[in-house]
Amino acid sequence: MHMLHINELTYRIGGRILFNQASIALPAGHKAGLVGRNGTGKTTLFKIIMGEVHADGGSVNIRKLARIGTVAQEAPSGAISLVNAVLAADKERAQLLDEAETATSPERISNIHTRLADIDAHSAPARAGAILSGLGFSEEAQARSCSGFSGGWRMRVALAAVLFSKPDLLLLDEPTNHLDLEATLWLENYLANWRGTLLVISHDRTLLNTSVDQIIHLQEAKLIRYTGGYDRFEKTRAERLANEAKMRTKQIAAQRHIQSFVDRFRAQANKAKQAQSRLKMLARMQPIASMMEERTVAFDFPNPEALPPPVISMEETEVGYEEGNPILSGLDLRIDMDDRIGLIGANGNGKSTLIKLLSERLKPMTGKLRKSSKLRIGYFAQHQTDELSVSSTAYEIMARRLLDQPESKIRGHLGHFGFGSDKADTLVADLSGGEKARLLFALMCLDKPHVLLLDEPTNHLDVDSRESLVHALNDFRGAVILVSHDPHLIEMVCDRLWLVDGGSCETWEGDLDEYRTLLLDKQRSNARSQRSLTEKTPKSRKQARQERAATRAKTANIRKVAQEAEKLVEKLEQKKADLEARLALPEVYEGPTQALKELQLKVGDVKFNLAEAEDAWLKAQAEIENFKTDHS
């Protein structure tokens, strides 16, 4: 049965066609990623589905009585606590609890409590807390009022609320934009185990590979379905483009051949009839519809002159905002021109503080911080888009920075970041989020910086623009320090990771996969702690024994799967560590090349098997927790 059916949808805005008889069906229980260039109408489609915008033609049908969930545009605020703001999203539970306070009829009171038991109301605070925890809120933070958090953190609460409400159809528009890497990894796993129907707009390649089973591509006002995640979609699309190009080449050759025949024999009486037949054939040949690849805006970071290493170094450095209260201390770090460093660690641990120290927006409290006298630093942060003059054009903003420079040089620099003459003369107020981000990149690169400090540079960039950014950063000959919630960007750009945690910053010796493992271990620990707390809930000993026995009996098979998966994870982790230790031995590289290749292949196989085992453990654990939630 279809949860969502869009049939021949047509919608125009300002004379521009966003949807032209577009059709797609999303079956119940399926999860789809909606992708397409910025400005093609993805968010508008959500508004049409929600009934906020009316289409010019066609229909949008949603399964009868289905509950639709989407993140509220207004983040929760006021004195209400975070956990209560999330609990309020379950409107039926809130209504029943309110009525239970005033109901007087014994029959109605009985019905209320029966329904509360049916919807598992008593476990709701624990479920809400688990979601908030996954999105980065400590137990202490969950009890605080919403008014004490910034807009970005309150948007996380809005996301937690819609996840908690368990709608039949979940619509998410760029859900990772307000998250850090840790919360993004949690959300990927949560959505992968989501049991409802999901339609998510996202430019996060990793999320689109792990959390959905199909991709819906919005292109040329049509909706085109592809099976699988984003990587498979990209491969299939490339194959379609290649096949289309071959077919068009063959068609053009056939047309030329027919036209040549007509031109040669049109005037000959004995060939005139055949020539006319060929002309009709030529007229009937419809051109093959072009699936022309949309133009991707390129980035071009100017390369600086080389500086001797290190360009930045720190010894026992402390930094913070109040004297005597450092956020980070004991910093012993070094940055060279060829470094590509990703900063990892949960929000609030000090990543932005470290970036501000490196960008000279904060001074060290104690210790030594040395920088090359010729060092130039470029700093990018999303909040800078709010500081752009909305009443100026990109050209005017750049001209004010490049005083006395000819117009050709100003427009040439803007051109390196995708600003042709039309966009260069467009008011900032009319630029998209991605275009404003590219303008910030252009401003950042005016003096050819040696070090790029990038704090969430991809929030408003589509998938293809992110790939273009990856290529540009890999071509750049200076240092890159990157903070991002996008795992794909970190993996493709960074060759070193610094973990900001516990009031300091240390080199993370592993890769991002090993960091995922660390987070997974924390999830296991939290799950065990939650089970322990649940078992301590005040009940009669007999009742508790009976419930535990029933749960053990009904979850025996899946618990066995979870235990076996956990043992396999531990075994593979040890095998991976042993293989990597062997791979680090110098004599391995002095021996036969074939032996080295075989060892590297074994490491790759173990990593693949480890990822599968971790997924199996997570899915089994999720089934166990879902069973407990549904039957507690």
Residue-wise pLDDT for 199-210, tens only, equals: 999 989 999 999
Is 3.40.50 the CATH number for 538-631? no
Position 293 scores a pLDDT of: 46
Position 138 scores a pLDDT of: 85
DSSP sequence for 62-85 = E-TTPPEEE--SSPP-SSSBHHHH
Q: For the chain, what percent of residues have pLDDT higher than 90?
A: 38
| Range scoring the smallest mean pLDDT among 103-117, 248-262, 534-548 | 534-548
Position 595 scores a pLDDT of: 75
| Range scoring the smallest mean pLDDT among 392-406, 450-464, 579-593 | 579-593
Superfamily of domain 2-233: P-loop containing nucleotide triphosphate hydrolases (3.40.50.300)
What are the pLDDT digits (tens) for 82-99?
999 999 988 888 888 888
Superfamily of domain 312-376+447-513: P-loop containing nucleotide triphosphate hydrolases (3.40.50.300)
pTM of the model: 0.70
DSSP sequence for 461-518 = --HHHHHHHHHHHHH--SEEEEE-S-HHHHHHH-SEEEEEETTEEEEE-S-HHHHHHH
Determine which helix (DSSP H) or strand (DSSP E) holds 6, and give its type and residue range: strand 2-13
pLDDT above 50 (res 534)? no
Residue with the bigger pLDDT between 491 and 240: it is 491
Closest Cα to residue 32, out of 167, 210, 168, 200? Answer: 200
Same fold for the pair 2-233 and 538-631: no
Position 490 scores a pLDDT of: 92
Residue with the bigger pLDDT between 548 and 100: it is 100
| Range scoring the smallest mean pLDDT among 15-24, 35-44, 154-163 | 35-44
- The CA-to-CA distance between both ends of the chain, in Å, stands at 30
Mean pLDDT within 136-142: 88
Position 357 scores a pLDDT of: 93
In a 10 Å sphere around its CB, with 0-12 CB exposed, 13-18 middle and 19+ buried, how is residue 288 labelled? middle
Alpha carbon separation from 426 to 393, 431, 435, 436 (Å, rounded)? 5, 7, 11, 11
What are the pLDDT digits (tens) for 280-337?
665 665 554 444 444 556 788 999 999 999 999 999 999 998 777 899 999 999 999 9
Map residue 631 onto helix, strand or coil. helix
Q: What is the mean pLDDT of the chain?
A: 83
Are 214 and 226 in contact, with CB atoms under 8 Å apart? yes
Mean pLDDT within 370-375: 93
Position 465 scores a pLDDT of: 85
Mean pLDDT within 233-257: 73
Q: Give CA–CA dist 274/318, Å, rounded.
A: 89
Residue with the bigger pLDDT between 606 and 593: it is 606
Q: At residue 359, what are phi and psi to the nearest 5 degrees?
A: -90, 5
At 181, list the tokens. Answer: 């890497």
Q: Give CA–CA dist 221/176, Å, rounded.
A: 26
Q: Give CA–CA dist 231/218, Å, rounded.
A: 16
pLDDT above 70 (res 215)? yes
Position 288 scores a pLDDT of: 47
What are the pLDDT digits (tens) for 418-446?
888 888 999 988 888 888 888 999 999 99
Mean pLDDT within 215-244: 86
Are 161 and 83 in contact, with CB atoms under 8 Å apart? no
Closest Cα to residue 419, out of 440, 390, 391, 405? Answer: 440
Position 539 scores a pLDDT of: 45
Residue ranges per domain, the chain?
2-233, 234-284, 312-376+447-513, 538-631
